[in-house]
Structure 1
Amino acid sequence: MKATAFSITLCIFLPTHVFSAALETSNQSIATFLQPNHYAEFSTAFVDANISGNTYRPEANNPSIYTETSTQNFVNHFYLSSAALKLQLDSNWSAGLIYDQPFGADVSYALDPVATSPDALVNAVDFKVDSNNLTALIGYQPNQSWNIYTGLSYQSLKMHLKISGQSMGILADYIGEIKKDSASGWLTGASYQRPEYALRTSLTYRSKIRHKQQFQEQVSTVPVIPLLNLASDQNTIIETPQSVNLEFQSGITANNLIYGSVRWVNWQNFKIVSPLMSSGNATLVPLVNYQTDQWSTTLGLAHILNDKWTLMTDIGRDSGTGNPASTLSPSDGFYSFGVGGLYNIHSHLFIAAGMKYLKLNKAKIQQVQNGSGSLFGPLSSVNNNNAVAYGVKAGYRF
C-alpha cells in the first residue's frame, strides 16, 4: 500500500482546538511520539477570531434605565506554537519531548457611553491566561504492533484579570493577578499499529495538574468607599483538567487515508476562585468555572497525489461547556472545516500548511447569571461568530 510511506499524523497541520471549549487551545496530542525512527517537528498557528454580541448598559444619566449596546469584537487574535522530538533508542524503547500551549485566553473590551468621562464606564474587561506545557515520554514496544508509553508533564500557568464597571453611579475596579506557577502531572497510554495497512490507533490519559499559586487581588471604587476598597494576597488552588484522547488513522485505498480523534476534557471540575470575594461567604465565589465537560471529534481524509504532494481535509465538532452567554463564554462549542497540503522537500524533510474555519455555536441567553461569567457581563444577544486559523508545520525524519 502506497499510503504506508506516509504518516497521516503529519497531515494534522493545525492545532485541532484553536478556539474550543473553555480555555483550551491545544488537543494535547502525542501523535508525534508515535512516528517511526527519529523525528522532530515545529508548528505554529495564527488565530483570528470575530466574537461579538450585545449587552445591556445603564443610561449615563439614569442608571435604572437599560439599553442594548454592541460589544464589538472582544477577542484578540493570538499565536500558538508547538514542538516535538522523538528518538528511537533501540528496537524496543523510544523517548520523546513535546512542547505545547494547552490553555489560554485573551479577552479585552470596554463599553463606555461617554468616551471623555472615565466615571461613565459601564463595563470593561481585560482577561489573559497563558500556559506552557513540556511533556517527557518513554515508550516500550514489545513487538512491531504495540507501543505502551507513559510520561510526566511540567506545566506553567499565569492569569491577569481586570474588571471595571459602573453601578448606581459608582465606578468599581477589580484587579486579580495570579503569579506564574509550575506544577507536574502524568500521562499514560497505548498504541496499536499495522504498518501494512497504514493503521494506527492510540488511547492516552492525562492527569489533572494541581497549581498552588499566589493570587493578588484589589478592589477600588470612585468615589472612594472604604468598606469596598479591599486587597488580598493569598494562595489559591487551580487544577487544570484531566483528559482522554483517542486518535486513529487507517489507509482505505493505496492513495487515500482517513484520520480522526475523539477527546474528553473534565472542565466541569475546573474553577478559578477569588479568595477575596469568597472571604466571609458561605460558598466560594468563582471567577471562572464551567457547567459541563467537553467532548470533541475530528474526522479527516488525506489523498496522496504523488511522492511529493499530499492534500487533506477534515471536519470537526466541539460540544462546548454549557455556560450561559457572557463575554467570558460567548460561544458554546463549534463546527469546523479544514483544508491543507503537505509537500515533501526530500525524503527526510517536509512542510505542511493549511487553514481551518470554525463556526462558533451561540451560547444560551440567560440574563440572571450566577457563577462563571457573571462578573464579565452577560450578553443580551450573540452574533454569528466565527474564527479562522492559519497554520504551518515543518517535520524532519532522521
Structure 2
Amino acid sequence: MSAVLGAAGAAHAGGIDRSTQSAMLLFEQGNYAEFTLGTLVPDVSGVEVSPFLGNQSSGSMATDYTLFNGGVKFDMPNGFSGAVILDKPFGADVDYPLDTDYFAEGSTATLDTGSITGLLRYTTPDQISVFGGVRYQTLSADALIPFVTAGKGVPYPGAPYEASGDESGEFGYVVGVGWEKPEIAAKVALTYNSAIDYEMATSESSAIGSLDSTTPVTTPQSVNLDFQTGVAPGWLVFGSVRWVDWEQFEIAPEMYAQLTNGAALVSYNGPTTTSTIGVGHQFNETWSGAVTYTYDTPLSGYQSNLNPINGYNAVGLSATYTSGPFKVTAAARYYALGDAETAVGQIAPAANFEDNDAMAFVLRVGYSF
C-alpha cells in the first residue's frame, strides 16, 4: 500500500516547494524503482486595492507545470541499502497576462532546479536505521518586471527591468534516522536536508543600464518527519510534517536592489510547516486507495508579487493497482490557496489575491525487482 502514501504530493502548490525532498524511497522493501509524473494546474489572480492604482484584475498569473521525478532503491549485504533519487525540488513559473492594465502586467519569472541525491542506509537487527548522503543541485532563474523602471534622467527611461541568472550547481547533504516494525506496517523517518548556497552569475538590464554581477542565493534547509502504522487489517494511517526555513531563501540582484531601494526580487519572512494526515485501505490483493488532508501554514505580512500565495488547505485521493512486481498509482489533490496581500514600492497593500485554487494530478509507476 505504500505507493499511495505520497503520490498526490508530487505536484505541490506551496510557494516554490515542489518535491518535498522525501527520502522514503529508502524504506521500500527489496530492490525497487519508481517514476512519477505530476502536473499542477493553478488558478491564481488578484485585484488592485490601492487608491493609487486602478482596481484592475491581474488575470491568472500562475502557469501550469509538469514534473518528472524518479529513483531506484537497492539492497546490499550486512544491513545496508542505498538509493539514487532524481527530482526538481524548487521552482516557479509566473506569467502576468498583457492588456489587463494591472500594474504587473507582462511580468514573467521562472526558477528552475534539478537535483540528484545518493543515499546510504544502515539498518540494525532491531529495525533502527541511520541514513545519509550527498545531493548535487542546480539552480537558474530569469525575470522580466516592466513596472520596475525609471523616468527622466536615466540612460533608458521607461525600459523594463530584466535579469537572467545562469545555471549554477552546488552540493548539499542529507542525514536521517528511522524505525520500522513490519508486523504492523509501522515506519517512522526523520530527515534533515541541508541548505545549499550558490553564487549565481547574473546579467541585468533596466532603465539605468546593464550590469553583470553575482547574486548569492540559498535554497533552504528543511526537516521532514514521515510516519505510518497499520491500525486494523487492511487499514493504514500515515502522515508527514515538513518544516522549511524560507527565511534563508532570497533573490536580490544588485541592480534590482538599486532600483527598489534595497528590496529583494523574491524573499520570505518566515519558515513554514506543511502537515499531512491520511488513511489508506487495501481492498484486495490488487486494489488499494487513500485519502489525505494537508495544511500549509501561512506567513505574516505582504507576499511577493511573483508568489502571491499564502498557505493552503488540500484534500487528496489516490488509488493503486498492483500486478506482480508493478504498482501503478493515480492521484489527484485539490488546493484551496490562502489569501495574500502584495505591495509595490511604498504602496501597501497594492493587491489582494483571494479565493484562488489549484488541482494536482499524479501518475506513479513502481517496479520491484
Structure 1 residues 96-107: aligned runs within 5 Å? 96-107=83-94
Structure 2 CA distance for partners of 1:109 and 1:378, relative to 1, 3 Å = farther
CA distance in 1 between counterparts of 2:167 and 2:91 reads 13
Q: Does 1:285 align with 2:263?
A: yes
| Cα deviation, residue 171, structure 1 | 2.8
CA distance in 2 between counterparts of 1:294 and 1:240 reads 14
TM-score (norm 1): 0.85
CA distance in 1 between counterparts of 2:161 and 2:74 reads 48
Is contact 2:58-2:105 (8 Å) kept?
no
**Greater alpha carbon shift after TM alignment, 272-281 vs 335-344:** 272-281
Is contact 1:113-1:122 (8 Å) kept?
no
Q: Match of 1:237, SS?
A: strand
Identity of aligned residues (%): 26
Q: Match of 2:146, SS?
A: strand
Is contact 1:174-1:218 (8 Å) kept?
yes
State the partner residue of 2:309: 331
Identify unmatched segments of 5+ residues in structure 2. Answer: none
Structure 1 residues 17-36: aligned runs within 5 Å? 18-20=12-14, 22-36=15-29
Q: Does 1:355 align with 2:332?
A: yes
Task: Tell me the alpha carbon deviations over residues 52-108 of structure 1, each in whole angstroms, 9 at most, x when there is no partner.
Answer: 0112699xxxxxx64211111111100012101011012411111011111101100
State the partner residue of 2:204: 217
Structure 1 residues 208-357: aligned runs within 5 Å? 208-220=195-207, 228=208, 230-278=209-257, 284-346=262-324, 348-357=325-334
CA distance in 2 between counterparts of 1:254 and 1:56 reads 55
Identify unmatched segments of 5+ residues in structure 1. Answer: 1-5, 59-64, 115-119, 221-227
Q: Match of 1:69, SS?
A: coil
Is contact 2:227-2:240 (8 Å) kept?
yes
Structure 2 CA distance for partners of 1:160 and 1:47, relative to 1, 3 Å = same
CA distance in 1 between counterparts of 2:104 and 2:315 reads 37
| Cα deviation, residue 285, structure 1 | 3.5
Is contact 2:203-2:213 (8 Å) kept?
yes
**Equivalent position amino acid for 2:249 in 1:** F
Q: Does 1:204 align with 2:175?
A: no
Task: Tell me the alpha carbon deviations over residues 155-202 of structure 1, each in whole angstroms, 9 at most, x when there is no partner.
Answer: 010001001027779633001100001100001001100000100000
CA distance in 2 between counterparts of 1:17 and 1:241 reads 19
Q: Match of 2:55, SS?
A: strand
Q: Match of 1:320, SS?
A: coil
Q: Does 1:153 align with 2:132?
A: no
TM-score (norm 2): 0.92
**Equivalent position amino acid for 1:51 in 2:** V
Q: Match of 2:302, SS?
A: coil
Q: Match of 1:73, SS?
A: coil
State the partner residue of 1:224: none
| Cα deviation, residue 113, structure 1 | 5.9
**Greater alpha carbon shift after TM alignment, 382-391 vs 102-111:** 102-111
Is contact 2:294-2:315 (8 Å) kept?
yes
State the partner residue of 1:46: 39
Is contact 2:11-2:360 (8 Å) kept?
no
State the partner residue of 1:131: 113
Structure 2 CA distance for partners of 1:246 and 1:214, relative to 1, 3 Å = same
**Greater alpha carbon shift after TM alignment, 99-108 vs 272-281:** 272-281
Is contact 1:50-1:386 (8 Å) kept?
yes
Q: Match of 1:124, SS?
A: coil
CA distance in 1 between counterparts of 2:256 and 2:342 reads 23
User: Based on CA coordinates, which of the two structures has the bigger radius of gyration?
Assistant: 1
Q: Match of 1:14, SS?
A: helix
Q: Match of 2:307, SS?
A: coil
**Equivalent position amino acid for 1:358 in 2:** Y
Structure 2 CA distance for partners of 1:141 and 1:237, relative to 1, 3 Å = same
State the partner residue of 1:392: 363
> Cα RMSD between the aligned structures?
2.5
Q: Match of 1:276, SS?
A: helix
| Cα deviation, residue 110, structure 1 | 3.7
Is contact 2:161-2:256 (8 Å) kept?
no
Is contact 1:17-1:27 (8 Å) kept?
no
| Cα deviation, residue 277, structure 1 | 3.7
CA distance in 1 between counterparts of 2:100 and 2:356 reads 24
| Cα deviation, residue 15, structure 1 | 2.5
CA distance in 2 between counterparts of 1:171 and 1:279 reads 16
Matched pairs, number: 364
Q: Match of 1:332, SS?
A: coil
CA distance in 1 between counterparts of 2:187 and 2:293 reads 20
Task: Tell me the alpha carbon deviations over residues 325-377 of structure 1, each in whole angstroms, 9 at most, x when there is no partner.
Answer: 4532322000000001000022x1110001000000101x365657xxx8xx9
Q: Match of 1:32, SS?
A: helix
